[in-house]
Amino acid sequence: MEIIVQKFGGTSVANLECMQKVKEKVLKPLKEGKKVAIVLSAMAGETNRLIEMAKKWSKYPDPAEMDVLVSTGEQVSIALFTMLLKDAGIKARSLLGYQIPIHTDRDFGRARILDIDEEKLRNYFKYYDVLVVAGFQGCDCENRITTLGRGGSDTSAVALAAALKAKVCEIYTDVDGVYTTDPNICSSARRIDKIAYDEMLEMASMGAKVLQIRSVEFAKKYNVPILVRSTFKDGPGTLVTKEDPNMEAAMVSGIAYDKDQARITLVDVYDRPGVAANIFEPIAAAGIVVDMIVQNPSRNGSTDMTFTVPKGNVEETVKILKKIKDKLGAKEILTDTNVSKVSVIGVGMRNHAGVAAIAFSALKNENINIMIISTSEIKISCLIKEKYTELAVRTLHEAFGLEKEE
Ligand code: ADP
Ligand code: ASP
Ligand code: MG
Cα of 179 vs centre of ligand 1, distance in Å, is 9
Between the CA of 13 and the centroid of ligand 2 the distance, in Å, is 12
| 97 ligand 1 Cβ < 6 A | no
Q: Is 136 a pocket residue for ligand 2 (Cβ < 6 Å)?
A: yes
pLDDT of the chain, 406 residues: tens digit per residue? 899 999 999 999 999 999 999 999 999 999 999 999 999 999 999 999 999 999 999 988 999 999 999 999 999 999 999 999 999 999 999 999 999 999 999 999 999 999 998 999 999 999 999 999 999 999 999 999 999 999 999 999 999 999 999 999 999 999 999 999 999 999 999 999 999 999 999 999 999 999 999 999 999 999 999 999 999 999 999 999 998 876 666 789 999 999 999 999 999 999 889 999 999 999 999 989 999 999 888 778 899 999 999 999 999 999 999 999 999 999 999 999 999 999 999 988 888 888 999 999 999 999 999 999 999 888 999 999 999 999 999 999 999 999 876 5
CA of 248 to the centre of ligand 3 (A): 25
Any ligand 2 atom below 6 A from CB of 41: yes
For residues 207 and 226, give the distance between their C-alpha atoms in angstroms, rounded to a whole number.
18
| Three-state secondary structure readout of the chain | CCEEEEEECHHHHCCHHHHHHHHHHHHHHHHCCCEEEEEECCCCCHHHHHHHHHHHHCCCCCHHHHHHHHCHHHHHHHHHHHHHHHHCCCCEEEECHHHCCEEECCCCCCCCEEEECHHHHHHHCCCCCEEEEECCEEECCCCCEEECCCCCHHHHHHHHHHHCCCCCEEEEECCCCCECCCCCCCCCCCECCEEEHHHHHHHHHCCCCCCCHHHHHHHHHHCCCEEEEECCCCCCCEEEECCCCCCCCCCCCEEEEEEEEEEEEEEEEECCCCHHHHHHHHHHHCCCCCCCEEECCCECCEEEEEEEECHHHHHHHHHHHHHHHHHHCCCEEEEEEEEEEEEEECHHHHHCCCHHHHHHHHHHHCCCCCCEEEEECCEEEEEEEHHHHHHHHHHHHHHCCCCCCC
For residue 192, how far is its CA from the centre of ligand 3 (angstroms)?
A: 18
Does ligand 1 come within 6 angstroms of the Cβ of 179? yes
Gap from CA of 209 to ligand 1 centroid (Å): 5
pLDDT tens digits for 96-147? 999 999 999 999 999 999 999 899 999 999 999 999 999 999 999 999 999 9
212 lines ligand 1 (CB under 6 A): no
pTM value > 0.75: yes
- Ligand approaching nearest to the C-alpha of 228: 1
Distance 152 CA to ligand 3 centre (A): 7
Ligand nearest to the CA of 41: 2
Query: Could you say which ligand is closest to the alpha carbon of residue 343?
Result: 1
Q: Is 8 in the pocket of ligand 2 (CB under 6 A)?
A: no
Looking at the CA of 155, which ligand is closest?
Answer: 2
Report the nearest-CA residue for atom 5 of ligand 1. 210
Which atom belonging to ligand 2 lies closest to the Cα atom of 136? Answer: 5
- Number of residues written out for the chain: 406
Q: For ligand 1, is residue 209 a contact (CB within 6 Å)?
A: yes
The alpha carbon of 39 is separated from its chain's Cα centroid by a whole number of angstroms, namely 16
User: What is the 298 CA–ligand 1 centroid distance (Å)?
Assistant: 42
Residue 273 alpha carbon to ligand 3 centre in Å: 42
Indicate which residue's Cα is closest to atom 25 of ligand 1. 178
Atom of ligand 2 nearest to the CA of 9: 7
Which ligand gives the minimal distance to the CA of 175? Answer: 1
